[in-house]
């Protein structure tokens, strides 16, 4: 439920009074420079009877709407320009009375956002962090929309990879103090060892022990997973990614939930040499139990989803595109075989590759989050010092720039597309980057500070709406679009819509900044522009927070 006045809808309503067949999609914010809002009439020109007559009535009615400044009809388009003063007041009133624009959307559904869930077999690298950034931004987006959101990390502490990690330690570092470096070394060695042996038999034996409920083994492996996880959580923390809940996969084995999955699916289960599988149409036979009785990743993940469905109305899972089929299978099992009707959405993202190929912890070809974060921090620090010298908040500001840049880099490209990680791009602070957005905020704040110093801060109440520059109106309209963008982003689970919006918004601001002076202008104009600045900052902060961009006073 949107608590703001939807001007597109108001225009649609007027137009439909005379043309009830009008498609709502023909009333849009204009992408070209013809007008602010446009109604595409081309398709009705020839098909609608007495078109000219109706067109005139539509135009007359729309022109009378309070927020419409001017209107003309040109080659099949009704071009509408809005009254910036009217919209500015609407935005201001919302922000002043409720603190934000729009104040709230309010959807009481309980939502779970599962993301990251990376195997604790090494430090988090730039490929995996895309998952975290997307997931965290989606959770913030959903919260902003009014959902009750919980973020979840599903910790895989019981699969083959974890058992291998454990075995690597046992075989090559037994007795040594367990650190992530030691574990990582053992992990790499164990895979070489498997290759030489030509068998992973030792892992299989351990896994059987594990599934039979060998408590000592389970807790030792969980301990190892926890050590690796602590490191990952530390990196997530650097990027302001906070998880509400960690669920360990082993819990489902220990509590017998995994076994219950098999029971729940018993009507659909088929047997092959003692192994159990189910048929998924258009996919293939999917095994949920091995011949030796042990469970599979999917089995445990079903148990996890049954748990999530018992707690949440809506579950969102962020996964790499290589898991697309897994998502399809999970969806089919939960809804078609187990009969749940909770909503389940998978968000898939393209891989982050290096120019030289894939990132792999095991092969040592990954770029870790820490490396990138540290370099960004360092560069940001240089830039800040270059401008302001060594000050008290250099640390904080450089950190904010680093976090913002890294998160923005991960979100600026459409999530479905792969990213080729390049240092030069990641470390760029010019053009379409987080610093550009942040910079617009500091410039706005800087003007307000000057206004304050001059003792004119009360001017905001005094707004002269006549003679507004087109750059002002254009910025105000962009600000006004914020609720539409949030709604779009929520409906399509696309936080990148917000980063795109932030870029558009700050570009509009920059143009305004270059064209319209605030200091030294006559009272009514200064008041109007101060109002624009205040609300611009408010909306920019609001949207920035969703995607994890920080706003600073000086940079």
Partner RNA sequence: GGGCUUGUGGCCUAGUCUGGAUAAGGCACCGUCCUUCUAAGUCGGUGAUCGUGGGUCCGAAUCCCACCAAGCCCGCCA
For RNA, the binding residues in 64-103 under the rule CB under 7 A are 74-77, 79
**According to CB under 7 A, which residues from 264 to 283 bind RNA?**
272-275
For position 469 contacting RNA by CB under 7 A, the verdict is: no
> What HEC string does 447-464 produce?
HHHHHHHCCCHHHHHCCC
> Cα–Cα distance between 550 and 376 in angstroms, integer?
14
Report how far residue 364's alpha carbon sits from residue 441's, in angstroms, rounded to the nearest whole number: 40
Name the phi and psi angles at 352, rounded to 5: -105, 115
289: enclosing H helix or E strand? strand 285-289
Indicate which single residue of 51, 307, 436, 484 sits in contact with RNA (rule: CB under 7 A).
436
Contact 497/543 with Cβ under 8 angstroms? no
Backbone dihedral angles phi then psi of residue 59, each to the nearest 5 degrees = -60, -45
Binding track over 314-343 against RNA, x by CB under 7 A: -------xxxxxx-----------------
CB under 7 A: which stretch of 100-108, 337-345, 437-445, 476-484 binds RNA? Answer: 437-445
Least separation in angstroms between residue 159's CB and RNA is: 3
In whole angstroms, how close is the CB of 494 to RNA at the nearest point?
8
Q: Determine, following the binding rule CB under 7 A, whether residue 284 of this chain makes contact with RNA.
A: yes
Under the binding rule (CB under 7 A), the answer on residue 549 touching RNA is no
Binding-site member from 66, 175, 198, 431 for RNA (CB under 7 A):
431
Phi, psi of 279 (to 5 degrees): -95, 130
Select the span of 52-60, 168-176, 235-243, 516-524 touching RNA (CB under 7 A): 516-524
Q: Which stretch binds RNA (CB under 7 A): 7-15, 50-58, 361-369, 443-451?
A: 443-451
Q: Is 454 in the site for RNA (CB under 7 A)?
A: no
Contact 25, 43 (CB under 8 A): no
> Is 110 an interacting residue with respect to RNA (CB under 7 A)?
no
One of 3, 9, 17, 42 touching RNA (CB under 7 A): 42
Cβ closer to RNA: 136 or 200?
A: 200
Report in angstroms how near the CB of residue 420 gets to RNA at its nearest.
7
Question: Is residue 442 close enough to count as binding RNA by CB under 7 A?
Answer: yes
**Under rule CB under 7 A, residue 242 binds RNA:** no
Draw the binding track, 156-185, toward RNA (x: CB under 7 A; -: no contact): x--xxx------------------------
Regarding 510 and contact with RNA (CB under 7 A), the answer is yes
**Angle value at C-alpha 131, between 126 and 137, nearest 5 degrees:** 115
3-state secondary structure of 447: helix
The single residue among 65, 221, 401, 477 that binds RNA, judged by CB under 7 A, is 401
Residue with Cβ nearer RNA (3 or 42): 42
Residue list 478-507, contact with RNA (CB under 7 A)? 492, 496, 500, 507
What CA–CA distance (Å, rounded) separates 400 from 386?
Answer: 17
Q: How far is the CB of 66 from RNA (least distance, A)?
A: 22
Q: Please check whether residue 232 is in contact with residue 191, taking contact to mean a CB–CB distance below 8 angstroms.
A: no
| Number of residues in contact with RNA under rule CB under 7 A | 86
Nearer to RNA, 92 or 529 (CB): 529
Q: Verify binding: residue 51, RNA, rule CB under 7 A.
A: no
Q: Compare residues 97 and 282 and give the one whose CB is closer to RNA.
A: 282
Number of neighbours of residue 49 by Cβ within 10 angstroms: 6
- Residue 112: which H helix or E strand, with range? strand 110-114
Cα–Cα distance between 305 and 433 in angstroms, integer?
37
Name 150's bridge partners: 112
Which one, of 11, 29, 22, lies nearest residue 66 by Cα?
11
Contacts of 113 (CB under 8 A, 6+ apart): 135, 138, 139, 142, 149, 150, 151, 152, 316, 318
CB of 253 to RNA, least distance (A): 11
Among 429, 456, 464, 484, binds RNA (CB under 7 A): 429
- Among residues 7, 15, 35, 427, the one that binds RNA under rule CB under 7 A: 35
From 10-18, 85-93, 169-177, 294-302, give the range in contact with RNA by CB under 7 A: 294-302
How far apart, in whole angstroms, are the C-alpha atoms of residue 298 and residue 336? 16
Query: Could you tell me if 374 and 352 are in contact, meaning their C-beta atoms sit under 8 angstroms apart?
Result: no
Taking the complex as a whole, how short is the minimal distance between the CB of residue 6 and RNA, in angstroms? 16
Give the separation between CA 495 and CA 137, rounded to whole angstroms: 6
Instruction: Report the alpha-carbon distance of residue 255 to residue 158 in Å, rounded.
Output: 14
Which range of residues in 60-68, 135-143, 185-193, 514-522 is near RNA by CB under 7 A? 514-522
Q: How far apart are CA 485 and CA 54, in angstroms?
A: 32
Residue with smaller CB distance to RNA, 230 or 425? 425
The answer for residues whose C-beta is within 8 angstroms of residue 220's C-beta and 6 or more apart is 166
Contact (CB, 8 A) for 192 and 147: no
Provide, rounded to whole angstroms, the least separation between the CB of residue 325 and RNA: 4
Does residue 417 interact with RNA by CB under 7 A? yes
Beta bridge partners of 110: 148
255 vs 492, beta carbon nearer RNA: 492
């Amino acid at each position: 439920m949107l608590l703001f006045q939807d001007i597109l809808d108001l225009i649609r309503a007027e137009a439909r009074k005379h043309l009830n067949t009008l498609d709502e999609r023909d009333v849009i914010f204009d992408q070209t420079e013809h007008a602010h809002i446009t109604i595409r009439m081309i398709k009705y020109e020839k098909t609608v009877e007495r078109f000219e007559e109706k067109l005139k009535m539509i135009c007359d009615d729309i022109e009378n709407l309070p927020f419409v400044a001017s209107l003309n009809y040109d080659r099949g388009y009704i071009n509408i320009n809005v009254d910036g003063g009217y919209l500015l007041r609407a935005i201001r009133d919302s922000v002043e009375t409720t603190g934000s624009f729009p104040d709230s959307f309010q959807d009481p559904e309980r939502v779970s956002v599962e993301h990251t869930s990376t195997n604790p077999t090494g430090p988090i690298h730039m490929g995996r962090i895309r998952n975290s950034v997307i997931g965290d931004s989606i959770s913030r987006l959903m919260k902003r929309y009014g959902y009750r959101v919980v973020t979840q990390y599903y910790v895989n502490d019981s699969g083959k990879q974890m058992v291998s990690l454990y075995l690597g330690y046992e075989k090559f570092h037994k007795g040594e103090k367990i650190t992530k470096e030691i574990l990582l070394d053992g992990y790499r060695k164990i895979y070489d060892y498997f290759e030489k042996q030509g068998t992973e038999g030792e892992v299989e034996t351990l896994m059987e022990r594990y599934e039979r409920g060998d408590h000592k083994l389970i807790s030792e492996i969980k301990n190892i997973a926890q050590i690796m996880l602590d490191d990952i959580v530390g990196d997530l923390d650097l990027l302001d990614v906070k998880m509400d809940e960690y669920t360990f996969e082993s819990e489902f084995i220990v509590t017998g939930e995994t076994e219950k999955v098999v029971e729940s699916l018993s009507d659909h289960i088929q047997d092959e040499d003692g192994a159990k599988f189910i048929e998924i149409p258009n996919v293939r036979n999917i095994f949920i139990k091995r011949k030796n009785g042990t469970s599979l990743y999917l089995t445990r993940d079903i148990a996890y989803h049954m748990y999530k469905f018992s707690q949440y109305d809506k579950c969102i899972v962020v996964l790499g595109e290589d898991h697309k089929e897994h998502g399809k299978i999970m969806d089919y099992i939960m809804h078609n075989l187990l009969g749940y009707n909770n909503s389940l959405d998978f968000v898939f993202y393209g891989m982050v590759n290096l120019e030289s190929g894939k990132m792999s912890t095991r092969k040592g070809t990954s770029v870790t989050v820490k490396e990138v974060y540290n370099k960004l921090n360092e560069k940001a620090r240089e830039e800040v010092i270059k401008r302001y010298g060594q000050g008290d908040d250099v640390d904080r500001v450089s950190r904010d720039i680093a976090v913002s840049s890294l998160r923005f880099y991960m979100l600026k490209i459409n999530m479905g597309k792969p990213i080729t990680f390049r240092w030069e791009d990641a470390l760029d602070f010019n053009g379409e980057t987080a610093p550009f957005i942040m910079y617009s905020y500091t410039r706005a704040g800087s003007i307000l500070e000057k206004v304050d110093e001059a003792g004119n801060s009360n001017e905001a109440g005094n707004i002269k709406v006549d003679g507004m520059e087109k750059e002002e109106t254009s910025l105000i309209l962009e600000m006004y679009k914020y609720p539409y963008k949030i709604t779009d982003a929520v409906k399509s689970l696309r936080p990148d819509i917000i980063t795109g919006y932030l870029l558009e918004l700050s570009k509009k601001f920059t143009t305004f900044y270059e064209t319209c002076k605030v200091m030294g202008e006559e009272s009514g104009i200064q008041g109007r522009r101060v109002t624009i600045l205040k609300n611009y900052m408010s909306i920019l902060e609001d949207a920035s927070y969703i995607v994890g961009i920080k706003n600073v006073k000086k940079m």
